[in-house]
Each structure stands twice: as structure tokens, then as C-alpha cells.
Amino acid sequence: MKIPKSNFSEWYNTITKEAQLCDLRYGIKGFVVFMPWAVMTMNRMYSMYEFALEGRNHVPAWFPALIPESYFTRESDHVKGFIPEVFWVTEAGGNKTEEKYAMRPTSETAMYTMYALWIHGKTDLPLKLYQRCQVWRHETKATKPFIRSREFHWIEAHNCFATREEAMAQVREDMEMAEEIIHGQFGVPFLFFKRPQWDKFAGAEDTFAADTLMPDGRALQLPSTHMLGQNFSKAFGIKYTDENGKDEHVWQTCYGPCISRIYAAIIATHGDDKGLVLPVRLAPVQVVIVPIVKDETKAKVLEKCEEVKKMIECCFVVKIDNSEKTPGFKFNEWEMKGVPIRIEIGMRDVDSGSVVIVRRDNGQKTSVKLDVLEESLHKIAESLDNDIRAKADKFFSDKLSFAYEMEELGKKLEAGHGFVRIPFCSDELTSESCAGIVKDKCQANVRGSLFGSDGKPEHKKCIACGAPATIYLYAARQY
């Protein structure tokens, strides 16, 4: 890597190319080819998220990718929100289709049409389905691989309950899942915001979203979870008969962890000037063994490399790099690709019954005897994952600040502060014009209020209009 991470945009574009994560040369703007090194990590991410979902009583299903226009238009707010982004299919086999079909931008309208056929009584509830799939949106902003594109890969979970309380409990469970997986296992910190009413999901009562920060201080949305209330169940006729024989509309939620975008956050959060730094559990290759050989020692060293590989491959994904490249070239290549642990074996190590272990995150080298190798690798792996998460947490916390005046907000954002807490008049639709002032003057978006307790402004004025402030909201520049 020749580009320092401090030049984040160029660094990001370079690492996605040099580490062979994707290929942008496909012939449609915003559509990229995901390469094996990226897909292997994303498959692990999918598996971990799906394990968490199924552990919380979600079950998988697959729904069609095409949605009839008549389905899509049933919920008015939803259709208004998504129509500008929809790809339409209007012809098949050389003939016009009976109606237009939307390539799913999200699956509410496809799934809820079927939910109305499946739910009859209270015994059919709760219904908690998820699917992994691609969605398509005609994104008009500048595209960037994994961060923002017109085709992305995600999981969407759609749930139905008998009561509002059960639905809100699911929203909180979604938040807990994000903390457990994205922060706990992927090492990416975030804040969960309740979006202002002008920025909620089309058709929802409320939207809650996890936002992280990229190295340049800009916000990136990760999973969002939506309290849909009964808006869709009334539009699609999703009802159950209660104990008294009365028909009631269900309460709904939906949750969308975008795996490809979370992958972008992993790249950006943990990477360094040498390239990728991957958590051990996500790396396509967790341990690379590099032989240090001369012509006369090559056979013995390679034999020992095979022996070591067999010792540890029951616990780790291991590769021996026995190519003809120089050791220095191999070190740089595997560091750039983010392999967490490197084992170096030369003739001296063969004679001493040991190996040299090198950590990707900090370059620390340790000589380890073979009889404690597996135990040592487990300790190093755990330490590495904990350390890169702690480093990410420190960066994130250092990017949080507050401002009470517009000029101060602008200076904080220019200085690279990520999320800036500001006093605001309201998060209701009536205050959307104040958010517009923040955007015009500071090129920042109002992300929402911190979910949970963040206190109330006392004797503070809205940073935009000067009216008495009733809430703290957070502003950030965004991708």
C-alpha cells in the first residue's frame, strides 16, 4: 500500500482494488463484482448474523425478487418513499408484461401480501421470518464499492405480533443483536439513533438506526430497525382473530442488516497504512505459514510447515505460502490482505522445535514452542480481536463532541469530529426546516436522538431557529 489511511477516500479505493475485494469494471454504473476474498468474509458475516437471528426464533424464507406494481403501491407513504429508486421490469421474452414489476428495493410489499394469507388466529403469531438477498435501488448519489451502490447484499427480517408492546420488544432485541454481532464480534462501534420523523423509513411509525463513523469522520448507516405499527397490516389486510372472535390488525417490525455495507465499515474501521486488518473470526485465511528457506533447507522446512498446518487446521483456516516469491513480498501481500496471524518457519525454527508468530494488528513477534502452539494461537487470536475492537472504540469516542452554536458546529465538523450533539427544537416533522438550515450551513445531516437516556436541554436554544430546545439531536456529515 502506497496510500496512507489518512487520505481515506483514495486509501479505500486502493485497498478494495489491490486486495481484490471487488471489480468495478462491470458494464452498469453502481453494479460491481464481489471477489472471492470479500465474499468469503461476507459469508462468515451472514452465518454469524443468521445464527443470532435463529437463536431468537426467526426462521428463513426466500421471496421472489420481482414485486408487482399493484403490490408495491398499497401503502401510500412507502410507495412515495421508494418509487424514485425503483428499477422496473416491463418486458419479458420480447413482450410487454401484464403490469410493471419492481426489482425489490426492500421486501415489505412482497412478504406482507403473503402474510395476509398465512395469519388467521393468535396461534399464528408471532411470525418472524428473515431472508438473505440482494436488493436494487437506483442510487443517484456517487457510488463507492460496498458503501453505496445500486445493488447490495443484506438480510431483512419481517415480524408480526399481536400487540404494540411485543413489537417494541422486537425493536429492542434488534438493537441488542447489532451490539452483539457488529460491535462484539466484528469490532465496529456505533451509536443507535431514533431517526427524526422527516428521516424515518417510508411507511414506518419510527425508525431506529445504528450509525458508525468512517476514518474521515463521516457517518455510515449500518442496520436499521423499524417500528411499522399497523400501517402495513391495515394496507395489506394482515389480521388475526382474538380470543373474543374479533379481528385485529397485527403490529409489525422490520430489520435490515446490510452485510455489504457492514463489510465496508470493517474495512474502514480496522484497516491501516499496510492494508486490511481483519478480525480473526472473519478472515478468509486466519493463519498463513511462510517458509524461510534456502535451497539446501527447503525440503525440511516445507515438511515442518506441513506438520504445523496439520497441528492447527482443526481450529484455524490455514494456508502455506510455498510460492517462489520472496519472504518480504509474501509478508507485504498477506499483511495487505489482512490475514490476522503469520507463522514464520526457517531451519533454525525446525532445529529448535519452535515457530515465530507475528500479529497483523501490531506486528508483535513471538517465538513459540510447538507443544504449546495451539494454545498460544487461541490466546493471540482472542487478544487481537479484543485489541482491534478497543482501538476502534477509542477512535470512535474521540470523535464525539457537542456544539451549541451553528458556527461552533461547523468548526467541529471541519476539524473531523464525527457526531456532534446539538440542542434542537424538536424531532417532529415541524422541525424539518431547521434540519435544512443545518445542512445548508454546515453540510451536515441531523441523524437523530440517542436511543435511551441522553438528558434534556435546560435553558438552551435550538441551534437552527433559536426557539427553546426540547431535545438533543446529533449532526454529522454522511456517506
Q: What is the pLDDT along the chain (479 residues), one digit of tens a residue?
A: 789 999 999 999 999 999 999 999 998 988 999 999 999 999 999 999 999 999 999 999 999 999 999 988 887 777 777 778 899 999 999 999 999 999 999 999 999 999 999 999 999 999 999 999 999 998 877 678 999 889 999 999 999 999 999 999 999 999 999 999 999 999 999 999 999 999 999 889 999 999 999 999 999 999 999 999 999 999 999 999 998 889 999 999 999 999 999 999 999 999 999 999 999 999 999 999 999 998 899 999 999 999 999 999 999 999 999 999 999 999 999 999 999 999 999 999 999 999 999 999 999 999 999 999 999 999 999 999 999 999 999 999 999 999 999 999 999 999 989 999 999 999 999 999 999 999 999 999 999 999 877 888 999 999 999 999 999 999 999 98
CATH of span 400-476 = 3.30.110.30
pLDDT score of 178:
97
User: How much helix, strand and coil, in percent to the nearest 5, is found in the chain?
Assistant: 40, 30, 35
Find out whether 252 and 42 touch, Cβ atoms under 8 Å: no
pLDDT score of 399:
95
Instruction: List, for residues 141-188, the tens digit of each pLDDT value.
Output: 767 899 988 999 999 999 999 999 999 999 999 999 999 999 999 999
Separation in Å, CA 325 to CA 292, 328, 377: 11, 8, 26
Q: What is the DSSP string of 179-242?
A: IIIIITTT----EEEE--GGGS-TT-SEEEEEEEE-TTS-EEEEEEEEEEETHHHHHHT-EEE-
Kindly state the cell numbers that stand for 353: 522445535
Instruction: List, for residues 112-129, the tens digit of each pLDDT value.
Output: 999 999 999 999 999 999
Candidate CATH numbers 3.40.50.800, 3.40.50.300, 3.40.50.2300, 3.40.50.2020; the one for domain 285-382: 3.40.50.800
CB atoms within 10 A of CB 380: 20
The segment(s) of the chain belonging to CATH 3.40.50.800 are 285-382
pLDDT score of 74:
83
pLDDT score of 75:
74
DSSP-based three-state secondary structure for 283: coil
Cell 417494541 found at: 168
Find out whether 305 and 249 touch, Cβ atoms under 8 Å: no
Hey, what CATH topology would domain 8-270 get? Answer: BirA Bifunctional Protein; domain 2 (3.30.930)
- From the number of C-beta atoms within 10 Å of its C-beta (0-12, 13-18, 19+), residue 244 rates as exposed
Name the DSSP class of 284.
S
